Amino acid sequence: MSLDHFDLALLDAVQRDAGISQLDLGEKVNLSSAAVNRRLKKMAAEGVIQGTVARINADALGYTLTVITEVEVETERLDLLDDMKRAFLACPQVQQCYYVAGECDFVLIMLVQNMEQYTNITRELFFENNNVKKFKTLVSMSNVKTGTCIPILD
Amino acid sequence: MSLDHFDLALLDAVQRDAGISQLDLGEKVNLSSAAVNRRLKKMAAEGVIQGTVARINADALGYTLTVITEVEVETERLDLLDDMKRAFLACPQVQQCYYVAGECDFVLIMLVQNMEQYTNITRELFFENNNVKKFKTLVSMSNVKTGTCIPILD
DNA sequence: TCTGAAAATGGACCTTT
DNA sequence: AAAGGTCCATTTTCAGA
């Protein structure tokens, strides 16, 4: 799918604020609201726009601790890796999980309410998994930047 | 602010899909659409709901490479750290940035179009900054899990 | 691009606890 | 008072001309 500069401007706007009306969007990018409607609809149908979500204040729900965990595996057997991926996916405290090349094999970003909760999760995910050789924990003192905005207008 | 089980159910629904109508939300949690409207409005005003954003398919825009960078600083002087945080915040390819305790000082999640772009950014952010002692790059082979869903209903 | 119908939002007002 | 429900006006979405 080809995206022109109107599409890019629309994407940039809605990835920052999906609440803005199509009328206001049209004003911002110089397009009628009907054109905005068509383009957004098309991009959603094509999967360029994957959906809209509300951003919730984690602190307000008691999730005040962000932890980054680097996991090193014992063997890279595919079925074992898949099992681990599944376990990470299923754990709601795991916000993000990357399978990486380098010294470690997985990097996890976790959001927990306190250290005790993190400890419990490490037991479940790492200590009770025979394929985890070791893991290293980095505690975030400050979440300098979070979000999922993609660079669009450069 | 105190959140009852209605609020929690609403938060859980809208953090997965903010497009759902207040009528459907009300059906899901057993509340009238007016009550849903009031509660959502209040939670937005109190900052529990920080906003709604569209999720964009990064691949569709050519951003196919996710890189995790661990940065070690020379000195922890506050003004120098603040300068670095500002630089990371201002770089659109930096999706997330955590200031951490441990072996390294910053962990960055970056989204780039290719290795060349990453190389250019490392020059700008790391090589040309005297306070960066060293940095380590981890390349993601698979983004197993991404998103920002907070665990609400457990 | 314009127009209009259908849907969604959000306020007013009344009732319940 | 605080919160829910119903009704209604306004706004928004979205398809057809």
Determine the residue among B57, B99, B113 to mutate to test chain A binding: the one whose Cβ has the most chain A Cβ atoms within 10 Å: B57
Q: In order of start, what are the domains of chain B with their CATH numbers? A: 5-45 (1.10.10), 58-139 (3.30.70.920)
Per-residue pLDDT of A28-84, as tens digits, reads 999 999 999 999 999 999 999 999 999 999 999 999 999 999 999 999 999 999 999
Per-residue pLDDT of B111-138, as tens digits, reads 999 999 999 999 999 999 999 999 999 9
DSSP A76-109: --HHHHHHHHHHHHH-TTEEEEEEEESSSSEEEE
Residue B38 banded pLDDT, cuts 50, 70, 90: very high
Chain B residue at shortest CA distance from A2: B60
pLDDT of A1? 78
Helix (H) / strand (E) element for B73: namely: strand B65-73
Residue B95, SS3 per DSSP: strand
Higher-confidence residue of B154 and A40: namely A40
pLDDT of B153? 84
D4 C1' – A21 CA distance, angstroms?
29
Residue B102 banded pLDDT, cuts 50, 70, 90: confident
Residue B132, SS3 per DSSP: strand
Residue B78 banded pLDDT, cuts 50, 70, 90: very high
From the CA of A36, how many Å to the nearest CA of chain B? Answer: 15
Work out the average pLDDT over A5-13: 97
Determine the residue among A52, A71, A110, A120 to mutate to test chain B binding: the one whose Cβ has the most chain B Cβ atoms within 10 Å: A52
Closest to B91 measured CA to CA, from B132, B57, B125: B125
d(CA B120, CA B126): 10
d(CA B33, CA B61): 37
pTM: 0.94
Residue type, position B9, single letter: A
